[in-house]
Amino acid sequence: MTIIVDQPQFENGNEEQIQKKREELELVLDGGFSIPHANSFGHNFRDYDVESERQKGVEDFYRVNHINQTVDFVTKMRQEYKKLDKAETSIWECCELLNEVVDESDPDLDEPQIEHLLQTAEAIRKDYPNQDWLHLTALIHDLGKVLLLPSFGELPQWAVVGDTFPVGCAFDKSIVHNKYFLENPDYTNPTYNSKYGIYSEGCGLDNVMMSWGHDDYMYLVSKENGTTLPSAGLFIIRYHSFYALHRSGAYKHLMNEEDVENLKWLKIFNKYDLYSKSKVRVDVEKVKPYYESLINQYFPEKLRLSSLHRSGAYKHLMNEEDVENLKWLKIFNKYDLYSKSKVRVDVEKVKPYYESLINKVLCVQIAGLKLKLEITSSSDAPWLWACFSYWGVGGTSMFLIFPTPPHGSCGSLVLDSIAFKSLRWKPLFSLYGGIFGHLGMRPYSP
């Protein structure tokens, strides 16, 4: 599938100005689609340096993202999520699930993702009425963001959204906030930090590992479910966040001939993906029948997905005590998930009550920092109050509230590298033990 995009000529101006004019003209050439002059916040699109209410949060996101996206991490995530053996749902149901998602990495948009999907799809449908595969690709390109939801693993934002890039070779300077790659373990690994790294010239992007996120996940889901979308559609799904390639021209040395052809479609798609972000609402019920007909044409009725939480997986590893404790965990999960709101709690008002419950002290060390952990295990207390008091950091404290059952027996639990002794409710630490272990928490005796 080949398209031809005319290349206009510009006589004067520096390279940056020429590129800007070229992009603006290309947008005009696409028919009725008009370019907004600013994003939803009144700033230029994809401006990661402008002072705005979202700028700091976006930069913090990329710091964590660039530090943690490594070859090892991507390999692990691809192996786990490629199984697609945990849940089945329809594409439209996935679209509706995205009503709960806001992308923290996006400086241009603070609307639910379903709005963006329909804005993009409808804009493309207007200008390319005969390319129905492109309409559907636009609708589903961000569906992988369901990974942010509890029923799909509730991955952190840095592992789901944001610009993507290859791992296993040098990080290009064109990648947004690239300074944070200095803290990535792969940055100093000679196997991964050269131009080609573990790849070869013209190997094809299909053979390149991309940073893990919603793009690669939806690409895997589409392929494993036998979609009949053309290769250009799959290319758009996997690389639409790969701005270093389709905006800066980086990593072209890894592309093969098919990639070169598909990139033309991606560049067309990207204009709509980026510039259709607005406050204009789409009548969902009006357009739904059309997109459902495309879904039936290109996908099976139900998609096999990887739903890693609340799916009942791994029950074969549980013993009888685990089965009983799981009941409490399910009760807790309802509050943990659905109590997230804008309602503020008066900390000073409730603090005395929770402090009165504290009757256990456990000393631990996290990443080399001595901490004092105070934990309640009162048999008649409905809540457990944990206070991490930082030693030698100006008396700073962090408070966490966890639920505990009204009764239970004392016991001990060892999870990863942390040991909890004489705690009355072990499921609590089954839930959070993985987090504590990841932080390197372990018993400490002063």
Nearest in space to 23 (alpha carbons), one of 2, 45, 49: 45
Does 336 carry a binding-site annotation?
A: no
Residue-wise pLDDT for 111-151, tens only, equals 666 778 888 999 999 999 999 999 999 999 999 998 988 77
Looking at residue 313, its pLDDT comes to 55
Contact partners, residue 127, CB within 8 Å, separation at least 6: 30, 31, 32, 33, 272
Does 49 carry a binding-site annotation?
A: no
The Cα 284–Cα 148 span in angstroms is: 23
Q: Residue 158 in contact with residue 68, Cβ under 8 Å?
A: yes
CA distance from start to end of the chain: 69
- What residue ranges of the chain have pLDDT lower than 50? 1-13, 18, 20-48, 50, 309-310, 337-338, 340-341, 359-446
Does 52 carry a binding-site annotation?
A: no
Contact partners, residue 341, CB within 8 Å, separation at least 6: none
The Cα 122–Cα 141 span in angstroms is: 13
Looking at residue 65, its pLDDT comes to 96
Q: Helix, strand, coil shares of the chain as percentages rounded to 5?
A: 45, 10, 45
Does 377 carry a binding-site annotation?
A: no
Does 214 carry a binding-site annotation?
A: yes
Alpha carbon 397 to chain centroid, angstroms: 29
Looking at residue 294, its pLDDT comes to 98
Looking at residue 208, its pLDDT comes to 98
Distances (CA, A) of 195 to 55, 75, 170, 247, 254: 31, 20, 5, 19, 10
Does 145 carry a binding-site annotation?
A: yes
Does 104 carry a binding-site annotation?
A: yes
Does 407 carry a binding-site annotation?
A: no
Query: Which uninterrupted H or E stretch holds 1?
Result: none
Looking at residue 10, its pLDDT comes to 36
Q: Residue 235 in contact with residue 265, Cβ under 8 Å?
A: yes
Alpha carbon 149 to chain centroid, angstroms: 10
Whether the model pTM is above 0.85: no
Does 241 carry a binding-site annotation?
A: yes
Looking at residue 329, its pLDDT comes to 77
3-class DSSP state of 361: strand
3-class DSSP state of 388: strand
Residue-wise pLDDT for 176-219, tens only, equals 999 999 999 999 999 999 999 999 999 999 999 999 999 999 99
The Cα 139–Cα 236 span in angstroms is: 12
Name the burial class of residue 109, with classes exposed (0-12), middle (13-18) and buried (19+) by CB atoms within 10 angstroms of its CB: buried
Q: How many CB atoms lie within 10 A of CB 398?
A: 10
Does 163 carry a binding-site annotation?
A: yes
Does 108 carry a binding-site annotation?
A: no
Does 105 carry a binding-site annotation?
A: yes
DSSP state of 187: G
Looking at residue 111, its pLDDT comes to 62
Does 312 carry a binding-site annotation?
A: no
Does 259 carry a binding-site annotation?
A: no
Looking at residue 48, its pLDDT comes to 44
